[in-house]
Structure 1
Amino acid sequence: MVFTHSLPLVPAPVSAAAGEGRMPITATTRVHGSSPASAQLIDAVARRSGIRLSLVTTADAEIELRIDPTVAAAEGYTLTVDDRVVIVGADEAGLFYGVQTLLQLLREDESGWGLLRAEVRDAPRFPRRGVMLDVARHFFGVDDVKKFIDSTSALKFNHLHLHLSDDQGWRVHIDSWPLLTERSSATSAGGDPGGFYSKDDYREIVAYAAARHVIVIPEIDLPGHTHAIGVAYPELVEAPVMNDGLISESARLGQPLPVAGETYLGWGVGHSSVRIHEERTYDFVRDVVRELAEMTPGPYIHIGGDESLGTPQADFDLFAERATAIVVEAGKTPVAWHEMGSAANIAEGTVGQYWGKTVPEGTHAEEGKHFVERGGALIMSAANVTYLDMKYSEDFPLGLTWAAIIDVRTAYEWEPTAVLDVPDSAILGVEAPLWSETTRTFGDVERLVFPRAAAQAEVGWSPKSAPERNWESFRSRLGALAPLWKAEGVDFHPADEIPWSER
């Protein structure tokens, strides 16, 4: 194979080289391999090109998929496209990611459909590469979440954090506390329609994600962001505590202030808290965590911890200690936003999610580092570069600006290990959150998430020192994703800074 130019792949592989020309794809092209990835490849090619490949048992097929643990680290793969295709995964996840890379090489020209000839070796930089979908401020149903899983797993994300509760709504059924969904799920921010996941819905999402090598992390936000709990069970939640920011922001947006026992339709934060000194509160937390753990095969339960502005520090510390212990008792690893690092006795091994800025403000750095000191690790979600709900530009119709205005280049050019003074080994990876205050439809979600999620995918997957790991290379490779996204119906924002390809 003669190598001539770089390949239009996102995220950038460990190594990749392009050969001359293309391998044609036609209705007679066959796929050999017993992995579920074989069927996923066949379905994806059909969606993209209208050509349905055939799955065969003969080893002389034009496309071969197999597993060999010696080819790469976990989740890694090798891929060769010459006169035939061979994808070898280190495991099932690696084979799946090899298929996603192959799909980015599928192109149409005057002679029809074909695969760019290439040789790729690849494995991820960080083990944890996540996205978050806030279904509490605005609710998105099972089909929307499945589409979100499809389009993010195609970029090699392997965790989906579902923000299932907030002041505006409770979104998953809990048998032992049935009024949560009966009374606190009907509406969304601004009075838009709400909804919730039955246990069967939730299990369906988890299984769909698992088939694409995505671990679901459910979050119940505590002890703040809990107004909706009080609508269902008033005895569990304190009366709202107003703060200057809440009052001024509500007035600016023309939104109502929170009223105890009434559905909250605004966006303001920091006013709610569960009752820290009531034992029934911990019965509630224990029941919710137990039922979520029973439905969640992944190792994590996220218990929030952010913006508890109305909770005295001593009470917050007590709650953090007890809540993280409850998650451990349920056999899961607790995850919490970095503020919970202010509590001295969080459970050992608790994972912190840092959402401060790339230059830490106030006590954020110390709070983040405390998780590491307690034997845990960190997920980096620096708000001024990873928050997918921030505007692309001042005049963009969706999103907010409190953390930053984040164009695609800003989302790309940051380094997760450079934010906090902790060992590189303490950084599990990155997560890009999508908060849903302004996203009333799933199309709104997609326009904010894509293309910036692709930038975070490369930050999380690609080697920091890879030759292609630079803005000029990335913007060119990102532009080549347009035909694939259009074929999959992804309603991405065609940012002006990207040279988008037509074919």
Structure 2
Amino acid sequence: MFMVLPLVPLPVSVTEPTGMLSLTAATRIIVENDADAAASVLADVIAERTGLRPAVAGPGHDAIRPGDIVVRRTARQGEQYTLHVGDTARLEGADAGLFYAAQTLRQLLTDDREGWALPHVDIEDSPRFSYRGVMLDVARTFFDVDTVKAFIDRASSLKFNRLHLHLSDDQGWRLQIDSRPLLTERGSTAAVGDRPGGFYTKDDFREIVRYAASRHMVVVPEIDLPGHTHAIGLAYPELVEAPVMNDGLLAQAKELGEALPAAGEPYRGTGVGHSSVKIHGDATWDFLRDVLTELAELTPGPFLHVGGDECLGTAQADFDVFIERVTALTTELGKTPIAWHEAGSAQVAEGTIGQYWGSTTPAGEHADHARRFAERGGSVIMSPSNTAYLDMKYDAEFPLGLDWAALIDLQTAYEWEPTAIVDALPAQAILGVESPLWAETIETLDDIDQLIFPRVAAIAEVAWSPAATREWTSFRERVGGLGAVWDAAGWAGHRPSEIAWSTR
């Protein structure tokens, strides 16, 4: 009888011969074909999980012997990898594939009370979707560089490859822009409630990009436009319209005791839809060209996210003009624009990617908006708020999170299919999946862990594993085996009682 291997996301193919490979002080990591980076990652994850740090042997090593772990970089490109464990362990793939193979091996490490071991296994693996993202909102709450790196560690361990940073919102502007210094001098000082503000220097941002790349994640920076722009007005009031109240904002402010947004004053509430840049002003477009040019120069990845959501105080015709123009500007700067699905109302630039954040049962024109990105030669990232939003509460009593989209327990986060949401959207037009973490209710890394674990593992499997192999009962058992893996890494999180969590 085979053990249940705690593999999340589930690989494409797993075969389990009988037997175990013991890890001892004599275990070596053998490096072949310049796989040094992957070998270093593997040594770190083995040491973290077991306390053993295998010696790393490079060119000129002794003959491979039983118990060794061989890391071989292959010419085949992409994120696919193979992992074989028998008398030796062998990991093969290109750079990203080897990194993911190391994460899989981390999950396989087993404490059998006689020592650490790996079960014999043969794995062939590759991702379903090329875009597998998580988003961190650093605008409502500012998180420092070390916290962002910790978030990257958690996400990359589950084979996510995109980090979407929500860098601006009504509450704060979070990135140094040399041509517009008042954005950080005045626009970065606040956050939700009484939390401190903050911003990333350009060197900070470069370090985040570098660290993400070392974990095979591409940073997708977002400047939210034309709404969610109250903080811009603190720095450059001539560029923004006066706040426009809406019924939802007024009701929420009354219920939560939040102050309403006021021109020229930091906004520390959580209401939305009240702000807009001046869409037809020449000064606005000079500003946007300056900002997006610097952001493009800072960003080696192919994407710039330009927002486009919740512009409740903006006339539809004005919104459409703005989206058409800002996506064209982004394309001109050599980047692929991404925009929230509302932007599909406009003639977005050819190839613009939409990010769908509506329900798994689309309301109103949400599905139409999403389809239009594909019609314009683009694609769609699926982020349904009632299954993929990591900031929603697990249940009504959970102390962190919101509930406007849904209460999302682990099974709800797992049991949805990206291709089944928007009718008549071709499956090939779905670029991938992203799971956002908005920050209205969180302040610390521990808060982040409480909301993302274990649901981020469910989203990881939706994004990586073949649809035909996904099954809740299997996932429930496998994810429980990751309890000890996450504990060893120092990742706390929520542990739903319906899951049998491992402790060894």
SS of the residue 2:96 aligns to: helix
Q: Once the 2 structures are TM-superposed, how far is the Cα of residue 260 of structure 1 from its aligned partner?
A: 0.4
Alignment check: 8 A CA contact 1:304 1:337 kept: yes
Q: Distance in 2 between matches of 1:8 and 1:22?
A: 15
Alignment check: 8 A CA contact 2:4 2:478 kept: no
| Equivalent residue number for residue 38 of structure 1 | 39
Q: Does 1:474 align with 2:475?
A: yes
Q: Distance in 1 between matches of 2:195 and 2:158?
A: 31
Which amino acid in structure 1 is aligned with residue 69 of structure 2?
I
Q: For residues 101-140 of structure 1, what are the structure 2 equivalents within 5 Å?
A: 101-140=104-143
Q: Does 1:301 align with 2:304?
A: yes
| Equivalent residue number for residue 17 of structure 2 | 19
Alignment check: 8 A CA contact 1:7 1:16 kept: no
Q: For residues 274-285 of structure 1, what are the structure 2 equivalents within 5 Å?
A: 274-285=277-288
| Equivalent residue number for residue 49 of structure 2 | 48
| Equivalent residue number for residue 197 of structure 1 | 200
SS of the residue 1:315 aligns to: helix
Which amino acid in structure 2 is aligned with residue 347 of structure 1?
A
| Equivalent residue number for residue 76 of structure 1 | 80
Select between 110-119 and 355-364 the one with higher mean Cα deviation: 110-119
| Equivalent residue number for residue 241 of structure 1 | 244
| Equivalent residue number for residue 346 of structure 1 | 348
Q: Once the 2 structures are TM-superposed, how far is the Cα of residue 285 of structure 1 from its aligned partner?
A: 1.1
Q: Distance in 1 between matches of 2:212 and 2:204?
A: 12
| Equivalent residue number for residue 316 of structure 1 | 319
Which amino acid in structure 1 is aligned with residue 198 of structure 2?
G
| Equivalent residue number for residue 373 of structure 2 | 371
Which amino acid in structure 1 is aligned with residue 397 of structure 2?
D
Q: Once the 2 structures are TM-superposed, how far is the Cα of residue 22 of structure 1 from its aligned partner?
A: 2.1
Q: State the Cα deviation string for residues 440-486 of structure 1 (Å, max 9, x = none).
A: 112111110111010000000001112xx200100110011111111
Q: Distance in 2 between matches of 1:284 and 1:66?
A: 49
| Structure 1, unaligned runs of 5 or more | none
Q: Does 1:65 align with 2:71?
A: yes
Q: Once the 2 structures are TM-superposed, how far is the Cα of residue 286 of structure 1 from its aligned partner?
A: 1.0
Q: For residues 174-193 of structure 1, what are the structure 2 equivalents within 5 Å?
A: 174-193=177-196
What is the TM-score when the length of structure 1 is the normalising length? 0.97
Which amino acid in structure 1 is aligned with residue 367 of structure 2?
A
Q: State the Cα deviation string for residues 209-239 of structure 1 (Å, max 9, x = none).
A: 0111100000000000000000111011111
SS of the residue 2:18 aligns to: strand
| Equivalent residue number for residue 225 of structure 2 | 222
Q: Once the 2 structures are TM-superposed, how far is the Cα of residue 126 of structure 1 from its aligned partner?
A: 0.6
Q: Does 1:86 align with 2:86?
A: no
Q: Identify if the C-alpha distance between structure 1 residues 6 and 480 changes in structure 2 by more than 3 Å, giving closer, same or farther.
A: closer
Which amino acid in structure 1 is aligned with residue 352 of structure 2?
T
Q: Distance in 2 between matches of 1:60 and 1:135?
A: 47
- Percent identical among aligned pairs is 59
CA RMSD of aligned residues (A): 1.1
Q: Distance in 2 between matches of 1:476 and 1:76?
A: 25
Select between 246-255 and 27-36 the one with higher mean Cα deviation: 27-36
Q: State the Cα deviation string for residues 398-444 of structure 1 (Å, max 9, x = none).
A: 00000000000000000000111211000011000000000011211
SS of the residue 2:496 aligns to: coil
Q: Once the 2 structures are TM-superposed, how far is the Cα of residue 4 of structure 1 from its aligned partner?
A: 3.4
Q: Once the 2 structures are TM-superposed, how far is the Cα of residue 5 of structure 1 from its aligned partner?
A: 4.5
Q: Distance in 1 between matches of 2:119 and 2:283?
A: 61
Q: Once the 2 structures are TM-superposed, how far is the Cα of residue 372 of structure 1 from its aligned partner?
A: 0.6
| Structure 2, unaligned runs of 5 or more | none
Q: Once the 2 structures are TM-superposed, how far is the Cα of residue 68 of structure 1 from its aligned partner?
A: 2.7
Q: Does 1:405 align with 2:403?
A: no
Q: How many residues align?
A: 495
| Equivalent residue number for residue 491 of structure 2 | 490
The one of 361, 364, 379 equivalent to 2:363 is 361
Q: State the Cα deviation string for residues 283-319 of structure 1 (Å, max 9, x = none).
A: 1111111111111111000000000001101110111
Q: State the Cα deviation string for residues 137-166 of structure 1 (Å, max 9, x = none).
A: 001111111111111101000000000000
Q: Once the 2 structures are TM-superposed, how far is the Cα of residue 395 of structure 1 from its aligned partner?
A: 0.5
